[in-house]
Chains A and B, each alone.
Chain A
């Protein structure tokens, strides 16, 4: 029983670590995206600003979904 509990916890931790790594990668993409958008806007090319904002929103939604996944796995793994 204890072994099964430990196994479930370890599996939950692996899932959470994987999700966090994905969130981290998405965050790096978003930091780059903001920098590139600002650079493009300051160079006088305003056409790229709207697609960049849409992409940034989608990346944020991805992060939010992964965060909800982490919370859910956390709850599942800690169920008695």
Chain B
């Protein structure tokens, strides 16, 4: 018994426009099944599109930009800067005596600007109470699912340089 339908001798129009009322139920069901299958094809094409995007995505190159000097901001203090473009706002945090971290200021939930709460020792989004860890930008609480993109910092003498972006 084959899964494939046997080739019909009836013309297509006769199959689709039934003479008998009882046959109409089949036609609507068959058309609905076709519609669902086409939607499934659409989802598959969507997945292939994501695959193509992942395969052909270029590795972005980031500029090296000076964001401040060592000792410029106090311990548990912050400095705002933009990286890699003037439209991308970031926050530099001095978490310890010799510990500097920098993150994108854009919340991964709905892009509100996050701020550093020194009292709670975390980054907070005021819009929907999303909290991020200062150590690695991971989500501590709230609706955001992804961690904050982290700016890679390098020290060149007394200068702090932003050289890359992780998790963007």
Residues of A at under 8 Å CB distance from B? Answer: 9, 12-13, 16-17, 19-20, 23-24, 26-27, 30-31, 33-34, 37-39, 41-44, 46, 49-50, 52-53, 56-57, 59-60, 63-72, 74-75, 77-78
**Given A19-B33, A53-B48, A33 contacting B3 (CB threshold 8 A):** no
B54 x A69 contact (CB < 8 A): no
Please give, as numbers and ranges, the residues of chain A lying within 8 Å of B32 by CB-CB distance: 20
A39 to chain B, nearest CB (A): 7
12 new A-B contacts, CB < 8 A, other than A13-B25, A75-B6, are: A13-B26, A27-B43, A30-B44, A53-B50, A53-B51, A63-B36, A63-B40, A64-B40, A68-B3, A70-B30, A71-B33, A75-B5
B50 x A27 contact (CB < 8 A): no
Residues 4 to 38 of chain B near chain A (Cβ within 8 Å) = 4-6, 8, 22-23, 25-26, 29-30, 32-34, 36-37
**Given A43-B167, A53-B50, A68 contacting B4 (CB threshold 8 A):** yes
Closest to B44 in A: A60
B37 x A23 contact (CB < 8 A): yes
B129 to chain A, nearest CB (A): 21
B43 x A56 contact (CB < 8 A): yes
A63 x B47 contact (CB < 8 A): no
**B119 contacts partner chain A, Cβ-Cβ < 8 Å:** no
A33 to chain B, nearest CB (A): 7
Chain A to chain B contacts (Cβ below 8 Å), 26 pairs: A12-B26, A16-B30, A16-B33, A20-B29, A23-B33, A23-B40, A33-B43, A38-B50, A44-B168, A46-B54, A49-B47, A49-B51, A49-B54, A52-B47, A53-B48, A53-B50, A53-B51, A56-B47, A56-B48, A60-B40, A60-B41, A63-B41, A66-B33, A68-B5, A70-B30, A75-B8
Please give, as numbers and ranges, the residues of chain B lying within 8 Å of A66 by CB-CB distance: 33, 37
A32 to chain B, nearest CB (A): 10
**Given A49-B54, A53-B47, A72 contacting B40 (CB threshold 8 A):** no
Residue of A31, A43, A52, A67 most packed against chain B (CB within 10 A): A67
Closest to B33 in A: A70
Cα separation A2 to B10 with both chains bound (whole Å): 22
**B155 contacts partner chain A, Cβ-Cβ < 8 Å:** no
Please give, as numbers and ranges, the residues of chain A lying within 8 Å of B30 by CB-CB distance: 16, 70-71, 74
